Structure 1
Amino acid sequence: MDDLVFTRSLIEEMNQVDMRAECFPLCHRRELCNLVLYNSLTRKCRVYTEAFGLISDGTVETGWQYYGITCVNFKLDNAHADVDVINTVPKDVCNSNIIAAADNTSSCHIGASWEVVPVKCLSCYTGLPQQYAYPYAGHTEELTFDLAAGMKLKMEVSGDRTLSNEVWMVTLTEDIVYVLSLRWSTTPTVAIFNTGQGGEYGVEERLYDLTFVDGDLWMANQMRLPFIDVRRVKVKGFTALHSFHVGYDMC
């Protein structure tokens, strides 16, 4: 890979670098740096976000020397689903809004060989805890990705038993796609699930006799409407929101 220079994924080029060893700390101080090129003829140093494994990726230019970061030390912050992830612990690859799932393969260049790594980053959202909430006012969480089939919602909450504790999933135009209403003041107590569109609701699904104070409520509902442009979750009737997760798995 020597005597080649690369154009894509370049972070920075430095001039008047007298020794190749000076390039390495420059790379170390940059979070995304995973490749160093040094040219002793022109005294230039170039740092890149990724290593290149094919000669065809480069352009011939005399004097360049190629130094890739080892897989153990590979650094990649703010990974996305379409990024080739080099061999590392999956949870360390994905950022706070993304979790890792072992249903996709990526690769890592080690010397002259390639190692296949099972890793994929999936969208996941963790909201900020609200230790005190006014139950008569709604609280909104803005998601950074569209909701999709198969995602889960998990909330740890404290509620006002005199009010309905309600969760809505809505589009950016405020169209309600999903609603869960916990009604403690009715006899018997009931959890109501429904979907809606354009102000019209479907047929309710009900779970009666809610009796727990501290515990889990598991509801698996068949969605009757597609999740299109759903980026917002609203809650009302709760006195505290201890944790809030949305995603294929819990963050």
Structure 2
Amino acid sequence: MNIVDWAVSTMDSLGTLGVALLIFLENLFPPIPSEVILPLAGVAAAGPNNTYWAMLLASISGSIAGAWLLYGLGRLLGPERLRTIFLKLPLLHVKDYDKTVDFMDKHGHKAIFFGRMVPGVRSLISIPAGLYAMPLGMFTLLTLAGSTIWNTVFLTIGYVMGSNWTVIEPYTDIFSNVVYAIVALVILVFAIQLIRREVARRRLGLPDPDEALLEQEENRTEDSGRDGATEDSGRDGTTARPDGTSGSAR
């Protein structure tokens, strides 16, 4: 069963709930194309058992639910862990982290809004919003606005054109492939720049600019572990002795 047959079967079985579920899954698994799911929802909306507005609201609900889940994953990771990851990756330095934070500070709202209308990016843009702790209300508003535009366009195409919507499918595939190619090219250029910078640093014998910061991070982690061990020993009524044994606290 291909993606079209599966989507049609899901919508026939679950109606608007099926549309919400499909769009929710599309957020989590970018290979599921909303450019196909939404026109099919529009075709279904033109039938006797569904309405245009119900299908549109269901699709938007699925978009927001999926975005919230990815946003939550970003918040769980958090900016502190992200900074540590930047420090420990061999080609990235803390200044790269600072540049990324600056970008999100200056352009984060635009990235979330327009990212909702870019295939591939629209599914993953929610994670950076969570990483940099964008307020949930603002994130939801931007996601709602971008998703409403995107979903309305493709659902309306299916609703107006009916089963003939497939005539535009090759063009949506071309558009998606172009976007994927641009994203891959940007990532490749960024990776090449990082590699060239690191090669130049090592060739010149320059020290790692983040070595001291990484050592501080490791020391802080060790101190936290020791503090936790001390608290545990206090709770169970024992104290550590210099010889490594423990005894009851008096």
TM-score w.r.t. the length of structure 1 is 0.24
Q: Which has the higher helix share?
A: 2
Q: Which has the higher strand share?
A: 1
- Whose RCO is larger (CA < 8 A, sep 6+)? 2
TM-score w.r.t. the length of structure 2 is 0.24
